[in-house]
Structure 1
Amino acid sequence: METTGRGRPRIQDAADDIVAAVLATAGARVSTPDFSTRRIAELTGLSQTLVSRACRRIRRARPDAAGAGDDVPAGDDVAAGDPGALVLAEVHVRFPQIWLHFTPVAAPPGTQAAATSQSTAARRRATALMASLHASEAARWRIRDAGDAASAEAEPFVPGPLSACWDAHDPDWEQFLDRTAGLLSRCAPTVDAIPGDLLDLLARRAGRGLHGTQWRRGLPKSAHISDSSSEDVAPPADLERSPRNRWFSQVELSVTEQIAIALRREITNSGFRAGDRLSPNVLGDRLGLSRSTVRSAMSRLVDDGLLDSDQGSFRVPAVTVADVVDLYAARLHLGMVLLRACAVQPRHQMLPVRLALGAVEAAATQGTRSDAGLADLQFQQELAEASGLSQSARAFHALTLRVRMFIAVLRLDYSPAVERIVSDDRRILTAVLAGDAEAAVRSWRLKLDNAVRHMSALAPESFDAELWSRLSR
């Protein structure tokens, strides 16, 4: 079997990364049976043995604890009434530092039995937190030179006996993980030791290296820095960006794409209509970018058909039925190619797609009227990325940017269609996972047929059914 320089099988290292991605994005749901080793094995296509071993390695359990628990190994757990029992009190991730602080807790009398019944869920939560650190790839943070060090200065955290600290200036990542795992093993065996709101926050930021996470026990959720917007741009400083984890989204945002996102928000929030003028100066001030940079990016958006230009000024584009039909016909046929490629990929390659489907389902039940549509587009892009066809995926991404602009201009409301969106996406992914490419393509055709008719209904012209039928054959 092929091994790494440390003598570990490469297949296990890959399994560790895959399982860490699943647990890091599970949030508070990690405590449920949906995240048992058996269910994770079914989700990823890995063997249950590989999954169990990955959980132990992520949790950094002792070899003699390998048989403890049914899902996630126990560390040096202490009783909830032990004065030495801990709970997690604070978590901060701010380049170039990560800091976790624990505090002692004494359980009220009579809670021992209840705590024991929660021990499995508590171990899963501890492993999910370690998985978030594993998936963050902070071990690769580097201070490259004196200039970088000056720009990355942060107020140092004061280490204490109940703290675990990591600093890229003096890196010892393995020691930090050992320290964190040791403190987690002393936590009270109750779900409150690692609260669900923290796990949900980490899950939302998992694909971005946990950057900007600040959490403190007892604070309201609104006080935590969280990834509340599905279109937030990436951190501006290169040093704050860890290498892309291959099991998360692979779509990078260029400056031009970030400005396109800001433009869509401007159009939506300010009530602009087709033909209204857009100011590079205003956008530059809001994004913290120079006016020349914004103007150059907006000129590129004109070239891509996302903006109109008239004598040096920029305007909201008009969207015709022909534009909608043209765009969706291109996405239809390119999507068919991508789905056929996805159907022959190994199951674990579909992990980001599975996670994206979860986001669609969550948006459908908990999000705003636009969240479901945006989550659906991200699901589609994850399918494109999972296909292994980099050129086609890039072309599909460009078409998706145009769809998002159309959504903003036409002010689409997806709330009446959320159940159909979820149903379509489930059918597509089920067919892909079964290797049934043609079933996936049929579901994709139906999905886009519904979408083009929905979008065209809001265009200023009547829908050209004959044109759509001719292009979508």
Structure 2
Amino acid sequence: MFDPRPSALDLSDPCTAESEVSRVGRVKADVPGLQPGDREALRRIARSRRVPHGLATRAQLVVDCADLGISGAAQRASVSETTAAKWWRRYREGGIGALHDVPRRGRPTAPDDVVRRVLGCALEDPPAGAARWSTRTIADATGVSQASVSRIRRRSFPKESPISPLLQQLSTAILTYVDVGESGCAVGFAASNGESAVERDPPPALADAVETVVCARLLRPTYDARATTLLNRLTRHVSGPMTVIVDCEIDDAARQWISRHPDVDVDVHHVPGADWLTMRQAIWDTIDLSQATQLREVQQLIRAARRDGVEEFSWWRTTDPASVLRTASVAAKEPPGGDLSYVVRGICMALSAGDLSAGDAVSPRSIARLSGVSPGRVADALAVMAEDALIDRQSGRYLIPALTTRDVIETYTARGLLGTAIARRLASDESELPPVVEEQLAGIARCHESGRLSEASAIDLDLQDELARACGMPRIGAMFIRLTLQLRLFIAIFGLHYRYPTAEILADDGLILAEIRRGDPEAAVAAWRRKIDNCAQYMLNFATERPVKS
């Protein structure tokens, strides 16, 4: 259910606990002192390796004050009773947020346009040969000194954030929603039982992806904040339970909207636009590490929107997190071949980040960090991929293939033949197509309307795979899906700027589905062949512009 409070991040309300704490008295653990839910949040802060040492010490001190009294807490922390009493009083008056350091005064901040240029680099691909942006490459790209870049980033991405207590209540979170539009910005999270960055050092690519997600707000220069519009957009795409953070104030109109939708299990909180970027560290600390690959995909979609000049962006998870993010125990029960799609996605992420290129050896350990699959099972999947000619194998090493135009022709020839059998079988069969196919076609239409070209291409491949699964021919379906993995690798090796225009994707897919539903096998096959011809032509046109072998 929606939380109708204006902001759960307003930590200035005084604690309502009625117990009085003596300067030297001992307070029992069952005596009211800590606000509801704060004990566990304070303990997480105290144990965290990601927060400043002073904040962790103060968090433990407050817990000890509630359990041992001022004198006992001071003795345990080796501080004076005056210091212990001061931080206990600050917590009682301002909650967990009052334990953070107050920012010190420094030199004047950089002009807004300079700040936007520096931070906006997160929305662009890094320079050729660089896996990620650094202060030096940002300075070179923006014309701002490296020292100024460092200062801007430190001020924009502090280690402490007012949102930290909120996300720490989730312990570990999965990103479920990102929305940037005329009426404001929103990000949504669902609780997870996975492993967070606080518990284990995350890969640098994860921090890079989180920064792009937070900086997506910079896609638009201005906003006309309307909370009700944000809420309406939210409920069209997602369902709870979910924690949502918005950058516009929850006004009276929004509260009325919330009261009229008691069935929506979404908890909404407000972070002002000026503080939006401070969420980076808190999200990084809380995000489920097994979502790393998907976050890199979201990062690429946001960067594609920036390249296309699009000022609106929406992304939402279309499946339950448990069905996508696997725990180690679940992954261990799957056959090696079942890891292929995860491993291919990990390789594509490494290719897009510049960590891999054609001819490079694939490190199972590196792909394991990106894919959420163990190194041993990555090695097994790489062996299967080599047998299927998805990658090369030389002297016991697995290499990214150097593509040729012949590879493109061969892949699309095989895909055309297999797809012909799939289209003919589906059109001849009287059974209904799976509902997800229609949902995917609608998703392509939304991408076309909003200019999200890269995402439309990815959904298009997913739709084709769903048809392969639905045709009732397991061997042909499996071979077709393997070719889809090869196409994903092709696009990543060529560079993620390759796109099959969304208008043609929508027209071709719509015609194929219409002919299948009409029960006309010949027309369905003709529609499929037209689509394959279009796809192959765009890929070949792109390949001839690249330095690939013929």
TM-score by length of 2: 0.41
Higher relative contact order (CA 8 A, sep 6+): 1
Which has the larger Rg?
2
**TM-score between the two structures when normalised by the length of structure 1:** 0.47
